[in-house]
């Protein structure tokens, strides 16, 4: 029902407002109140480099040359669109929703979820296959927002984003992979870095919950549309799609709207139908939910996508290549630690000029590294950033390398790989 969540929106009337807008440090003053706290978070995320790189990061299909295939940035915009539509209708804070949606994937690795798994495997080698994930993109989005991404203040000094608690919480709690009905926000404002697994802790705000559901709505139809463009789906897959709609929604009435020409799920209609169903079914008492028919439809569509798209042999073949790219870069950079301790990382990387420049700049900005040829470079570049990693500590240096790779685009990772292996 329209405006049915207005009383629980994250506004100044909400009893949790002060905690929601709390920042880790004092954000510099702009001398005006044109933008709200969450609008400032939105524009800071929009301007940061991690957001810009999303246009060259994988959504499902790796390093696409087709301009019309969904990239990570387009996915983020779909999520923002869905979340904004829902928030406005239900009476929630659209500014908070937009900020969370815009930043929710800034911690994604190159090559999509496969790249995420590769980085986690590199971090978890010593703890066995059943160890908790050490690298997961939701937590990495929070980490990038808190420690990696910077913007110049009015004096030109690079400083961290200093986002509000509600937005930071939405970044780490946005996981839409776990299927749940009746999603409601949690009540405790816990330390976000105590969250150890993706998807199990609900967001602190209703707006964060909306983004979590919007993440799922946004990718379901779009992935199928792209699979069709790449001829991933055969006629038996199309028949299976029709059976899914017929068995869950019925071929009459609303069930027929999901198809175009009897072959493929119509992305825009599917998104519209899911938004309408959720808005009709949800309430503060029940939580954010779908009708039984549409929830079953979502589960079947996800199962179909994993079987017919994400596991397709063409994607699996590229995954082997992507794994080699990431691991080659990782091994190359891990060899530099002994040189980095003495400020000479560029010496060992001299045959890889592009990698050398970028990695040494990363070390200067985020570690205690001091290049022997320019020890005051951090001061010259006006980096007012915390030391995040220690080049003298093995575990910290490994994390430093992993985070550097996680920020790469697909194209940049492949360029660095070619630079390394070419003679």
Task: Tell me the pLDDT tens digit for each residue of 52-80.
Answer: 999 999 999 887 788 888 999 999 999 99
| Residue 310 confidence (pLDDT) | 93
Angle at 94 between CA 92 and CA 98, to 5 degrees: 135
Long-range contacts of 249-255 (CB under 8 A, 24+ apart): 249/293, 249/294, 249/297, 250/293
| Residue 262 confidence (pLDDT) | 44
Beta bridge partners of 15: none
pLDDT 10s digits, 256-290: 455 444 445 688 888 999 999 999 999 999 999 99
CA 70/CA 227 separation, integer angstroms:
10
| Residue 261 confidence (pLDDT) | 43
- Residues of the chain whose pLDDT is less than 70? 125-132, 176-178, 250-265
Q: Are 41 and 164 in contact (CB under 8 A)?
A: yes
Angle at 132 between CA 127 and CA 137, to 5 degrees: 120
Extents of the domains making up the chain: 6-57+67-104+130-310, 313-421
Q: Are 369 and 347 in contact (CB under 8 A)?
A: no
Under 8 Å CB-to-CB from 378, ≥6 apart: which residues?
364, 365
Phi–psi pair at 291, nearest 5 degrees? -65, 160
The secondary structure element, H or E, covering residue 158 is strand 158-160
SS3 of residue 152 by DSSP: strand
**What CATH number belongs to 6-57+67-104+130-310?**
1.10.3210.10
| Residue 10 confidence (pLDDT) | 97
CA 90/CA 73 separation, integer angstroms:
26
* Angle, helices 165-172/94-103, rounded to nearest 10 degrees: 50
| Residue 132 confidence (pLDDT) | 67
SS3 of residue 336 by DSSP: coil
Q: What is the distance, to the nearest Å, from the Cα of residue 15 to the centroid of all Cα atoms in its chain?
A: 29
CA distances from 187 to 5, 83, 184, 234, 273 (A): 16, 21, 9, 47, 30
CA 228/CA 70 separation, integer angstroms:
12
pLDDT 10s digits, 144-176: 999 999 999 888 889 999 999 999 999 999 986
| Residue 327 confidence (pLDDT) | 98
Burial of 74 (0-12, 13-18, 19+ CB in 10 A): middle
CA 394/CA 337 separation, integer angstroms:
8
Q: Which two tokens stand for residue 223?
A: 């992935």
Q: Are 110 and 405 in contact (CB under 8 A)?
A: yes
SS (H, E, C) 244-298: HHHHHCCCCHHHHHHEECCCEECHHHHHHHHHHHHHHHCECCCEECCCHHHHHHH
CA 302/CA 296 separation, integer angstroms:
10
Q: Which two tokens stand for residue 29?
A: 């003053």
Q: Which two tokens stand for residue 253?
A: 């009435």
Q: DSSP assignment, residue 310?
A: I
**What pTM was computed for the model?**
0.93
SS3 of residue 378 by DSSP: helix
| Residue 63 confidence (pLDDT) | 78
- Give the end-to-end CA distance of the chain in Å, rounded to a whole number: 64
């Amino acid at each position: 029902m329209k405006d049915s969540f207005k009383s629980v929106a994250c506004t100044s009337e909400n009893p949790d407002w002060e905690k929601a807008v709390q920042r880790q440090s004092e954000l510099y003053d702009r001398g005006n109140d044109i933008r709200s706290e969450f609008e400032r978070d939105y524009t800071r995320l929009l301007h940061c480099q991690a957001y810009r790189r999303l246009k060259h990061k994988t959504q499902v299909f790796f390093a696409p040359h087709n301009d019309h295939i969904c990239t990570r940035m387009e996915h983020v915009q779909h999520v923002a669109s869905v979340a904004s539509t829902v928030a406005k209708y239900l009476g929630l804070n659209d500014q908070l929703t937009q900020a969370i949606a815009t930043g929710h994937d800034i911690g994604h690795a190159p090559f999509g979820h496969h790249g995420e798994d590769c980085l986690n495997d590199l971090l978890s080698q010593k703890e066995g296959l059943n160890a908790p994930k050490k690298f997961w993109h939701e937590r990495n989005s929070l980490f990038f927002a808190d420690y990696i991404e910077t913007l110049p203040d009015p004096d030109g000094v690079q400083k961290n984003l200093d986002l509000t608690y509600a937005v930071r919480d939405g970044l780490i709690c946005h996981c839409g992979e776990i299927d749940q009905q009746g999603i409601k926000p949690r009540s405790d404002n816990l330390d976000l870095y105590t969250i150890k697994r993706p998807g199990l802790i609900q967001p602190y705000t209703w707006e964060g919950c909306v983004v979590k559901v919007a993440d799922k709505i946004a990718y379901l139809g779009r992935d199928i549309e792209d699979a069709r463009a790449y001829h991933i789906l055969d006629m038996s897959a199309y028949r299976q799609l029709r059976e899914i709609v017929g068995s869950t929604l019925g071929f009459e009435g609303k069930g027929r709207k999901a198809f175009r020409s009897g072959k493929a799920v119509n992305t825009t209609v599917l998104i519209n139908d899911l938004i309408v169903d959720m808005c009709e079914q949800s309430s503060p008492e029940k939580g954010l939910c779908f009708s039984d028919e549409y929830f079953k439809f979502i589960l079947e569509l996800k199962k179909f996508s994993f079987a017919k798209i994400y596991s397709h042999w063409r994607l699996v073949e590229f995954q082997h290549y992507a794994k080699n790219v990431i691991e080659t870069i990782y091994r190359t950079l891990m060899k530099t630690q002994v040189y980095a301790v003495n400020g000479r990382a560029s010496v060992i990387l001299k045959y890889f000029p592009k990698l050398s420049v970028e990695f040494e700049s990363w070390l200067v900005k985020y570690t205690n590294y001091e290049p022997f040829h320019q020890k005051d470079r951090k001061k010259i570049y006006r980096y007012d950033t915390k030391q995040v990693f220690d080049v003298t500590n093995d575990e910290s240096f490994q994390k430093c390398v992993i985070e550097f790779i996680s920020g790469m685009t697909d194209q940049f990772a492949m360029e660095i790989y070619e630079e390394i292996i070419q003679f």
